[in-house]
Amino acid sequence: MSTPRRCRGDRGQVAGIEVLPFGLLTFVVGTLLVANAWGVIDAKLAVTSAAREAVRTYVEAPDGATAVASADGAARAAIAGHGRDATATTVEIRHDGDRPFARCTRVVVTVHHPVPALRLPFIGGFGRAFDVVARQSEVVDPYRSGLPGEATC
Amino acid sequence: MLTAARGRRGDGERASVLMLMPAAVLIVLVLGAIAVDLTTIRLGQRELIAAAGDAANDAVTVGLDEGALRAGQGYRIDPARAERAVLESLAAKGLLDELAEPPTVLVRGADTVEVRLARRVPHLFARALPGAPDDQLVRGAVTAQVAQR
């Protein structure tokens, strides 16, 4: 008796069945939108930390050659610490006015990290949407020890 | 018969369940969008505080009044030099044009500089809602003090 009664009534299906594809579409598109926005914010957090670590390491290094290697390593370690692939990261170090590594030299460190167009859990990212960039700047301390020359700020 | 039909209509809940699912999905998406917007604001404030810290750190060393030091008056910060160092630091980061108001540089005592910054951080998703603010004002203040090591 119960089986024929279940098949006769279709009012519930008519009222709700058309929203299923709409709901599915909203869910997929909306989730991708929010997930991508979150991915960009997460990458921005990582590159900001990396640029800050790099510039601090740079201005406290004993000489120019060590400074470049140390700053690059610090930036990549910060990116890796945020759970991202540091091999895709680009670190640019520039001196204001093309001055050498010396007291009073302003250093600008720019860190680029690519954000995939689509990132799926357990599988990884696909495509390359754009680069997330962070820039930090500091002056080599004019009165620090360990550097030759005078402070000419 | 009429009473029986009305009773049967009230018994079924399958349509209600189907309609609740898209609503639940939309609620989850809206909550996700709110989380992203709040994190964007927090990120903007974090960047502002970092910029204020770097600028104060530069100002407290570059801002030294060398003339006073060589005259035997000890370590003293020249307010004009400190303010110039702050402006140069912010300009190097490209932040100077994004500030909501000019940076405040306060020299406290002989060896301390405080930098206060304010900036408007735009929302990502809230801009789509009518009546919601497009951005939020965030502030950051950092104090740096000279220490010999």
- B17 min Cα distance to partner chain A (Å): 9
Task: List the domain range (segments joined by +) for residue A109.
Answer: 2-139
Q: Does A12 sit within 8 Å of B12, measured CB to CB?
A: yes
pLDDT band at B68 (very low <50, low <70, confident <90, very high): confident
Residues in chain A: 153
pLDDT at A5 over 50: yes
Helix B79-93 vs helix B14-62: angle between axes, to the nearest 10 degrees? 140
Say if A144 falls within a structural domain: no
pLDDT at B4 over 50: no
Q: Does A106 sit within 8 Å of B18, measured CB to CB?
A: no
Name chain B contacts of A12, Cβ cutoff 8 Å.
Answer: 12, 14-15, 18
Other Cβ atoms closer than 10 A to A22: 11
Say if A135 falls within a structural domain: yes
Say if B1 falls within a structural domain: no
HSE of B95, CA atoms in CB hemisphere, 13 A: 29
ipTM exceeding cut-off 0.90 for this assembly:
no
Which element (helix H / strand E) includes B104? strand B104-108
Q: What mean pLDDT, rounded, does chain A reach?
A: 84
Say if A83 falls within a structural domain: yes
Task: List the domain range (segments joined by +) for residue B107.
Answer: 16-145
Q: pTM of the predicted model, to two decimals? A: 0.76
What's the rounded Cα separation, in Å, for the pair B99 and B95?
7
A125 Cα distance to chain centroid: 14
Say if B9 falls within a structural domain: no
Interface of A with B in 68-87 (CB under 8 A): none
Q: Higher confidence at residue B26 or residue B107?
A: B107
Say if A118 falls within a structural domain: yes
From B40, B62, B92, residue closest to A96, measured CB to CB: B92
Q: Does A12 sit within 8 Å of B14, measured CB to CB?
A: yes
Counted domains in chain A: 1
Mean pLDDT of the region A92-108: 90
At B110, list the tokens: 């002989």
Taking CA–CA distances from A145, the nearest residue in chain B reads B149
pLDDT digits (tens, 9 = 90+) for A37-82: 888 899 999 999 999 999 999 999 998 889 999 999 999 999 999 9
Counted domains in chain B: 1
Name chain B contacts of A19, Cβ cutoff 8 Å.
Answer: 18-19, 21-22
Asked if B18 reaches chain A (Cβ–Cβ under 8 Å), the answer is: yes
B46: nearest Cα among B117, B94, B114, B146: B117
